A and B are shown apart, each in its own frame.
Chain A
């Protein structure tokens, strides 16, 4: 080791050079804007793809999309969905979910139910603040899920779009298959999109 190098090393050790070096970085950060924000007052911008609480959607004419096929229940990896289906007596062949429960305490927010849904009745929303003192209120029933779906309809539609579940909010109306076709008379004309 050369004398110069040795001197430098001794000097560095004596002057705690590395501390000054690091302090330079630290002091430089004093000039930055803070990275944090004050949460309840300031809200994070949540991306469209965000997987938040689940909601049930309706068609634009107000009918329930869900046909009670129970596929979400089959797809759910944490078994938090329970669907009780029944026949809609007012429309022949129409099945619907008479009861629909999501135990949101069990939900892992994987989005499989949305992926599974053959009518896109379920969507995830940007809603994430539903902490409560009563655990029982976290068993979302059909009414609550439709409420969420209604309140966060835009989020839901954007979610479906972002996750390739629906091509486009506008386009979807074109190819949407109103499901299933209730057949009342044998002379009934086939629906427009199928003829």
Chain B
């Protein structure tokens, strides 16, 4: 690790002593001198330094005097050595630093008035601090601005060649999209190969640029830092829960900035294990939907087949009348509710409380049902804990990581950065098992491509290989010999040869992966959409738990089976009880103790056990006519589920459909009432991220138009129906949750949890393990050669991001099927050619485009777009245990149209 502190916990560097400004200081050997000085609290100016990457040493500001040397030395690139005597202050050093600033200024354009970085510019600060006046020989570069990239503009006149952007891209993000190039007599930062920049567009280069050389196209020239209100809040695109700063001007979101910035360049390198503070393309550039023109600003009520704008009061009166009438006529079981996991914890809590105590129904579900529920229920079943046991720090410091079925750099980009750091700094062995060529696979030590839909078989093979090679942790297994025997018996007839043929993974690979996983001191399995959103997700997670258990990784610090979530608060939705199975705090709904506790706390009688229904069941009952009223909060089942679910028919049969959403969604267009809700920028609350950290969401601007926060609407609804809910703010709800779930808001720290598999292993395990490894022979008889996958793109998240014009500009809906170039050649298809895509459900015609991340034999269409309606080709299989619908993969045939 070059000159940086030896952060690898496995390596202990020797301690040395040196003298800084007359004080004795101890430090680790081989550390950058600059870091040692920074650790003592002294701040030496440095423009090219940032603690997240190795010192570069181009700015020449961090000069110090070392005893025995005539000229000042650059402290960032100098290594701390024992016995050094260093002076960091003095007139001579000040003048030397001033010279360095002057050098940069002399070729800097007179741009401050138009520069977006003005007021947030390190060169300005340095020039001002060092009192530079009256430069001689100032000249300008006159380089035209590079505006080729859709996101970032490069104005190389302003560049000071500090290389922070290049270094952060190369070292921290491992994307390496930028480089220096000598052009027009100056060293310029250009995209690799001097092409238009096309990368992941995380914008971290923008964040670390100390001048205005890299500017954001979406907010170019719209602001100056002093005009804006800066609100620290939590991103609402994925479950990573990144902290970001929403910068607003009146009612307008101008830009998003990250904690990663040239401004906080001093830090401990080991702290980056908890996150380097950067953002991804969605978080940084996907803010435009917040103040979008298409936001709903008035309640809409259906009148004679049309949605017409009505004032809130009238809408609420009409709505409550309809609701009470339905409840009176058909009973509580005629009402159901769906909620999105993009709501805050407080709103999710309030939603389930409204459904259970207000409407008296347990027919409620959240969007965690689309996949995360598989993991939660499996994990709860096996280890008594419905969430990922590891946080980012564990992930960064792991020695072996198995990424199975997770294109993590697309779904959760910042968790991917943790894995990249694990690879780069902690030298972790990373195994990727996926049916696509993912970005992480390109960096991983053991990338494996498997046949689509065979993730379950791969896990079988891994368990088998572990037992075969005797990689079993004797001590752990010894505690539950009966359970282990049952497992051994269950996998006895699994044959690796057969699996190898089925999955396209060589037998040696099974063995190698098993030994990497078993032999590492800290190993983590990360299973994501490829497991939990596909068929048999529940069983596959349990199998991974088996694998972790027999290798002794279950319950050990820094090890475990983890998942990631697509929406920001899926974990919160489960924790807040927005599912028919759970009360808040993951107490089971049928647990009499919990029922009594919550009934008492809410002063209400609860709906009976067994009356509950999850998403699929709710839709079925809607279609069957049992459910007459559906309250949909931010969800959009019509646009999400394939046509085979007959969602439209189900919704059209309803007597009352209420949709509460910031936008008029497809589902909203069918609704009888559409209530305008706020986005996360306009309300307070908390999100629970995939680590289990509870993160604050803060109000950055006033609600747009007449829209209201969801909790406000729900409170008003409950009060209008005659319940006395006295919530004045999200804080009041929080106070109630705190009383019911003590310790939940753990000051934003991940709650350390230890999985306890003992109970499960000793009681029900042996009985059910047999069935788990019973293999149904692969049905090769589908007759369709291609596997069609629907999944997430890096730039998008759900349907929400399609409302952000910036993100659409980066990744528009091409309406084209993505295929491997070799498949296209084989079929004789040109880029853009029309193909006919046929599945058991039907066929449609669409264009095709080559994509190098798609494995041969598969084709891909992003799930964010319904134009053309590729999703309708999908079949839905519903998991028997968890009710999770899986509809992201199907076999299709592709032929030229």
Closest 6 CB pairs of A and B: A69-B113, A95-B114, A70-B224, A87-B221, A95-B221, A183-B144
Identify which of B139, B144, B184, B224 contacts A74 (C-beta below 8 A).
B224
Most buried by A among B110, B142, B155: B142
Q: Is the CB of A4 closer than 8 A to any CB of chain B?
A: no
Instruction: Name the CB-closest residue of A to B138.
Output: A194
Instruction: Name the CB-closest residue of B to A189.
Output: B142
Residues of chain B contacted by A194 (CB below 8 angstroms)? 139-140
Is there an interface contact between A186 and B184, defined as CB atoms closer than 8 Å? yes
Q: Is the CB of A177 closer than 8 A to any CB of chain B?
A: yes
Residues of chain B contacted by A92 (CB below 8 angstroms)? 144-145, 147
- Among residues 166 to 188 in chain A, which have CB atoms less than 8 Å away from a CB atom of chain B? 177, 179-181, 183-186, 188
Residues of chain B contacted by A184 (CB below 8 angstroms)? 144
Given that A183-B145, A185-B144, A186-B143 are known contacts, is A86 also in contact with B222, CB under 8 Å in the complex?
A: yes
Residues of chain A contacted by B140 (CB below 8 angstroms)? 181, 190, 194
Give Cα A85 to B113, complex, Å: 11
Q: Is the CB of A93 closer than 8 A to any CB of chain B?
A: yes
- Among residues 124 to 148 in chain A, which have CB atoms less than 8 Å away from a CB atom of chain B? none
Q: Mark B108-137, 1 if CB is under 8 A from A, else 0.
A: 011111100011000000000000000000
- Among residues 175 to 210 in chain B, which have CB atoms less than 8 Å away from a CB atom of chain A? 184
Given that A118-B112, A183-B157 are known contacts, is A68 also in contact with B142, CB under 8 Å in the complex?
A: no
Instruction: Name the CB-closest residue of A to B252.
Output: A84
Identify which of A69, A93, A177 contacts B224 (C-beta below 8 A).
A69
Is there an interface contact between B144 and A180, defined as CB atoms closer than 8 Å? no
Is there an interface contact between A67 and B184, defined as CB atoms closer than 8 Å? no
Instruction: Name the CB-closest residue of B to A86.
Output: B221
Is there an interface contact between A186 and B144, defined as CB atoms closer than 8 Å? yes
Is there an interface contact between B142 and A181, defined as CB atoms closer than 8 Å? yes
Given that A70-B226, A93-B155 are known contacts, is A180 also in contact with B114, CB under 8 Å in the complex?
A: yes
Give Cα A188 to B533, complex, Å: 57
Residues of B within 8 A of A (CB): 109-114, 118-119, 139-140, 142-145, 147, 155, 157, 184, 220-224, 226-227
Q: Closest Cβ of chain B: how far from A182's Cβ, in Å?
A: 9
Residues of chain A contacted by B143 (CB below 8 angstroms)? 183, 186
Give Cα A190 to B145, complex, Å: 15
Is there an interface contact between B145 and A67, defined as CB atoms closer than 8 Å? no
Is there an interface contact between B113 and A118, defined as CB atoms closer than 8 Å? yes
Q: Is the CB of A119 closer than 8 A to any CB of chain B?
A: yes
Residues of chain A contacted by B155 (CB below 8 angstroms)? 93
Known contacts A74-B224, A95-B114, A118-B113; can you find 9 more A-B pairs with CB under 8 A?
A68-B221, A69-B112, A69-B114, A69-B224, A87-B220, A95-B113, A180-B111, A181-B109, A186-B143
Given that A87-B220, A186-B184 are known contacts, is A67 also in contact with B113, CB under 8 Å in the complex?
A: yes
Q: Is the CB of A71 closer than 8 A to any CB of chain B?
A: yes
Which DSSP category, helix, strand, loop or mixed, fits chain B's interface? loop
Give Cα A43 to B220, complex, Å: 48
Q: Is the CB of A155 closer than 8 A to any CB of chain B?
A: no
Given that A73-B227, A74-B226 are known contacts, is A180 also in contact with B220, CB under 8 Å in the complex?
A: no
**Interface size of A in residues (CB-CB distance below 8 Å):** 28
Most buried by B among A73, A74, A95, A184: A95
Identify which of B144, B157, B222 contacts A85 (C-beta below 8 A).
B222
Instruction: Name the CB-closest residue of B to A194.
Output: B140
Residues of chain B contacted by A84 (CB below 8 angstroms)? 222
Is there an interface contact between A190 and B114, defined as CB atoms closer than 8 Å? no
Give Cα A73 to B224, complex, Å: 10
Q: Closest Cβ of chain B: how far from A100's Cβ, in Å?
A: 13
Give Cα A81 to B224, complex, Å: 14
Identify which of A71, A87, A186, A190 contacts B113 (C-beta below 8 A).
A71
Is there an interface contact between B144 and A67, defined as CB atoms closer than 8 Å? no
Give Cα A100 to B222, complex, Å: 13
Q: Closest Cβ of chain A: how far from B113's Cβ, in Å?
A: 3
Residues of chain A contacted by B147 (CB below 8 angstroms)? 92
Q: Closest Cβ of chain B: how far from A149's Cβ, in Å?
A: 18
Q: Closest Cβ of chain B: how far from A90's Cβ, in Å?
A: 14
Given that A181-B109, A181-B140, A183-B157 are known contacts, is A93 also in contact with B226, CB under 8 Å in the complex?
A: no
Residues of chain A contacted by B112 (CB below 8 angstroms)? 69, 118
Identify which of B139, B142, B221, B226 contacts A183 (C-beta below 8 A).
B142
Q: Closest Cβ of chain A: how far from B295's Cβ, in Å?
A: 20
Give Cα A42 to B220, complex, Å: 51
Given that A67-B114, A70-B226, A118-B112 are known contacts, is A188 also in contact with B142, CB under 8 Å in the complex?
A: yes
Q: Closest Cβ of chain B: how far from A185's Cβ, in Å?
A: 6
Given that A68-B221, A70-B224, A86-B221 are known contacts, is A94 also in contact with B142, CB under 8 Å in the complex?
A: no
Q: Closest Cβ of chain B: how far from A69's Cβ, in Å?
A: 3
Q: Closest Cβ of chain A: how far from B128's Cβ, in Å?
A: 15
Residues of chain A contacted by B119 (CB below 8 angstroms)? 74
Instruction: Name the CB-closest residue of B to A177.
Output: B110
Give Cα A78 to B224, complex, Å: 18
Q: Closest Cβ of chain A: how far from B124's Cβ, in Å?
A: 13
Give Cα A188 to B141, complex, Å: 11
Give Cα A181 to B145, complex, Å: 12
Q: Closest Cβ of chain A: how far from B598's Cβ, in Å?
A: 51
Q: Mark A62-102, 1 if CB is under 8 A from B, else 0.
A: 00000111110110000000001111000011110000000
Give Cα A118 to B226, complex, Å: 17
Q: Closest Cβ of chain A: how far from B137's Cβ, in Å?
A: 12
Give Cα A134 to B888, complex, Å: 63
Identify which of B113, B221, B224, B226 contacts A119 (C-beta below 8 A).
B113
22 contacts between A and B (CB under 8 A): A67-B114, A69-B113, A69-B118, A73-B227, A74-B119, A74-B224, A74-B227, A85-B221, A86-B222, A87-B220, A92-B144, A95-B114, A119-B113, A179-B114, A180-B111, A180-B113, A181-B142, A183-B142, A183-B145, A186-B143, A186-B184, A190-B140
Residues of chain A contacted by B226 (CB below 8 angstroms)? 70, 73-74
Is there an interface contact between B221 and A179, defined as CB atoms closer than 8 Å? no
Give Cα A185 to B144, complex, Å: 6
Give Cα A86 to B114, complex, Å: 10
Residues of chain A contacted by B224 (CB below 8 angstroms)? 69-71, 73-74, 85
Give Cα A184 to B157, complex, Å: 13
Instruction: Name the CB-closest residue of A to B109.
Output: A180
Give Cα A194 to B118, complex, Å: 22
Give Cα A94 to B113, complex, Å: 10
Identify which of A73, A93, A185 contacts B114 (C-beta below 8 A).
A93
Residues of chain B contacted by A185 (CB below 8 angstroms)? 144
Instruction: Name the CB-closest residue of A to B142.
Output: A183
Is there an interface contact between B142 and A190, defined as CB atoms closer than 8 Å? yes
Q: Closest Cβ of chain B: how far from A193's Cβ, in Å?
A: 11
Give Cα A129 to B118, complex, Å: 37
Residues of chain A contacted by B223 (CB below 8 angstroms)? 70, 85
Residues of chain A contacted by B221 (CB below 8 angstroms)? 68, 85-87, 95
Identify which of B139, B157, B184, B227 contacts A70 (C-beta below 8 A).
B227
Q: Closest Cβ of chain A: how far from B213's Cβ, in Å?
A: 13
Residues of chain A contacted by B145 (CB below 8 angstroms)? 92-93, 183
Given that A87-B220, A87-B221, A186-B144 are known contacts, is A180 also in contact with B227, CB under 8 Å in the complex?
A: no
Give Cα A177 to B138, complex, Å: 14
Q: Closest Cβ of chain B: how far from A7's Cβ, in Å?
A: 77
Instruction: Name the CB-closest residue of B to A71.
Output: B113
Give Cα A118 to B700, complex, Å: 32
Instruction: Name the CB-closest residue of B to A92.
Output: B145
Residues of chain B contacted by A179 (CB below 8 angstroms)? 110, 113-114
Q: Closest Cβ of chain A: how far from B214's Cβ, in Å?
A: 15
Q: Closest Cβ of chain A: how far from B282's Cβ, in Å?
A: 24
Give Cα A69 to B157, complex, Å: 18
Residues of chain B contacted by A85 (CB below 8 angstroms)? 221-224
Residues of chain A contacted by B227 (CB below 8 angstroms)? 70, 73-74
Give Cα A73 to B220, complex, Å: 18
Residues of chain B contacted by A190 (CB below 8 angstroms)? 140, 142
Instruction: Name the CB-closest residue of A to B226.
Output: A74
Residues of chain A contacted by B184 (CB below 8 angstroms)? 186
Instruction: Name the CB-closest residue of B to A88.
Output: B221
Is there an interface contact between A94 and B144, defined as CB atoms closer than 8 Å? no
